Amino acid sequence: MSNGISAPGVNLHRETLAVRQAVDRSQYGENSEALYLTTGFVQPSAEASARRFGGDEDGYTYGRSGNPTVTSFEQRLAAMEGAEACMATASGMAAVMLMCFSLLKAGDHVIISQSMFGSTLKLIGSEFGRFGVETSVVPQTDLTAWRVAMRPSTRLLFAETPTNPLGEVCDIRALAELAHQAGALLAVDNCFATPALQRPIELGADIVMHSGTKYLDGQGRVMAGALCATEAMVREKFLPVQKNSGMVLSPFNAWVVLKGLETLDLRMKAQSAQTLKLAQWLESHRAVGRVYYPGLSSHPQHELAMRQMGGIGGAVVSFDVRADGAEQARQRAFHVLDQLQVLSLCTNLGDTKTLCTHSASTSHGKLSEAQRQAAGIGQGLIRVAVGLEHLDDICNDLDRGLSSL
């Protein structure tokens, strides 16, 4: 059926899989993935239709149950993550929703870190709480706290590494052992590192969750999400819920992200290399206080990060503007952001354009000042998600505000 490579594990490198995996060609022999914009699929016979609806035969029936362009994206991402299978979703949050909905029931217990993506904390901690799922929230880097939080009803540990915006890193292998000793699963949000730098399944994780909106697309065009796991988990747990709940990825978005995956490795390496240089420049700037980047030797989990992420720190760096007190810190951070002429003031990441944001008033704006302080996010903190502009232009644009404080 395919002129490409349909199954992972044929000893090709990840860079090759990124451009070659799951190119299932039609009768026209197109070299790039076809975009199948159709809702329904015509059935070859009533018998075949019955078998497909009964789950006894593979084949497309209706857009909520599957689409060939979406399948290509799933197969390619699974291969790049070293997973058996993958299920695409409409967004990263839809992936979290699908995972929790598929695996949890009332009375189950989940452990998540306090530094996880804000919507993840809200969805699992608050919304799923209404249905009787209990959640413990622990400090990201404190393995003992994860261990102490374990209960007989613990079903899922969910970690994100590195985190937003401080780049805190947790030990995936150690968390996987902790989960498995208790018969629980470990899920990892691999949004910041991507399979180009970190492959949680190789380190023992059971599920890799993605916001494809970020680096997988990589050019800030579409929303997308995914869950990578075993074939059995995808087929038996995720697929039935996905079919009936409809959090499906649009074929157009899948096609855009497929294109993004082809350059993921190049982009992650280039953007990370710039980020390390920017972080070093920031560390030496007189108007800058602390710089948070796992690639810097000053980072508390630097060694773990380098081991776990193939020696590369990722493309997000945050820093504190020097100031006396919270009020002045906020004013100064706003000043730096308002002086930008090239970079974007934009709360997103994973774009080829460098995006700068004030975490305390945006992504973490709904937290109380005490919660923010516990999370280590001050009023002077600026997060920079580094893109592909020339490094000098990035530094100069930040320096405009920093040197005029």
Ligand X SMILES: *Cc1c(COP(=O)(O)O)cnc(C)c1O
Q: Report the interface residues with ligand X, using CB under 6 A.
A: 91-93, 117, 120, 160, 164, 189, 191-192, 211, 213-214, 223, 225
Name which of 225 and 401 has its Cβ closer to ligand X: 225
Name which of 94 and 398 has its Cβ closer to ligand X: 94
- Report in angstroms how near the CB of residue 153 gets to ligand X at its nearest: 25
Per-residue CA distances from 297 to 47, 280, 321 (Å): 63, 10, 20
Give rounded-to-5 percent helix, strand, coil for the chain: 40, 15, 45
Is residue 128 a contact partner of residue 135, using CB atoms and an 8 Å limit? Answer: yes
- Report in angstroms how near the CB of residue 306 gets to ligand X at its nearest: 20
Is residue 234 a contact partner of residue 83, using CB atoms and an 8 Å limit? Answer: no
> Which among 330, 365, 332 has a CA at the least distance from the CA of 347?
365
Q: Cβ-closest residue to ligand X?
A: 92
Peptide bond into 300 cis (omega under 30): no
Beta carbons within 8 Å of 128's beta carbon, 6+ residues apart: 100, 104, 110, 135
Amino acid at position 263, single letter: T
Distance CA 157, CA 112 (A): 6
- Report in angstroms how near the CB of residue 319 gets to ligand X at its nearest: 19
- Report in angstroms how near the CB of residue 225 gets to ligand X at its nearest: 5
Name which of 210 and 330 has its Cβ closer to ligand X: 210
- Report in angstroms how near the CB of residue 21 gets to ligand X at its nearest: 22
- Report in angstroms how near the CB of residue 124 gets to ligand X at its nearest: 12
- Report in angstroms how near the CB of residue 54 gets to ligand X at its nearest: 33
Name which of 164 and 301 has its Cβ closer to ligand X: 164
Name which of 97 and 287 has its Cβ closer to ligand X: 97
Name which of 72 and 213 has its Cβ closer to ligand X: 213
Is residue 318 a contact partner of residue 166, using CB atoms and an 8 Å limit? Answer: yes
DSSP-derived 3-state class of residue 119: helix
Query: Would you tell me how many other CB atoms lie within 10 Å of the CB of residue 173?
Result: 16
Q: Is 362 exposed, middle or buried (0-12, 13-18, 19+ CB in 10 A)?
A: middle
Name which of 8 and 165 has its Cβ closer to ligand X: 165
